[in-house]
Amino acid sequence: MNLIKSDIQKEVSYKTSRSGGKGGQNVNKVSSKVELLFNITGSALFTDEEKLLLNEKLQNRLNKDGLVQVICDEERSQYLNKEKAMERLILLLIRALQKPKVRKPTKISKGAKAARLDNKKKHAAKKENRKVDFD
């Protein structure tokens, strides 16, 4: 994960701003909120196929410039917020690149079919016995 982190670190840009929330007077002075921006299409880390897949899956996370945007303002430290934002970006990218397993359709077993039909016959016989004949 560190190898990935160091490679992505080179292609990421940060914006910082003052954050709300806990921190007292620190909130008014220090820019601890971090906005991480990552350009998928300009990245040298991914193949064209992977870029298409990432753009498709992360469509909701892209801003108007086409950059993936991750915002973190949980910690009082800008450094910790940068670390958390980077971890979130890596998780996002890893999840988006995972391909779901192909579902193999299975057949209903002969035993299950026979049991279902047997149950239907019993139920039909039970209902047949309830009929009243007025002849």
119 inside domain: no
Q: What angle do CA 116, 107, 120 make, to 5 degrees?
A: 10
Q: Which residues of the chain have pLDDT under 70?
A: 1-4, 21-24, 26-27, 135
Range of the domain at 47: 2-97
34 inside domain: yes
The pLDDT, as a whole number, for residue 112 is 95
23 inside domain: yes
123 inside domain: no
Strand order in the sheet with 12-17: 12-17, 33-39, 67-72
Q: How many domains, the chain?
A: 1
Handedness of CA 83, 89, 93, 98 (dihedral sign): positive
The pLDDT, as a whole number, for residue 1 is 43
19 inside domain: yes
87 inside domain: yes
The pLDDT, as a whole number, for residue 2 is 53
127 inside domain: no
The pLDDT, as a whole number, for residue 116 is 96
Look up the CATH number of the domain holding residue 57: 3.30.160.20
Q: Mind listing the pLDDT tens digit for each residue in 25-60? A: 766 777 788 888 998 888 888 888 888 888 888 888
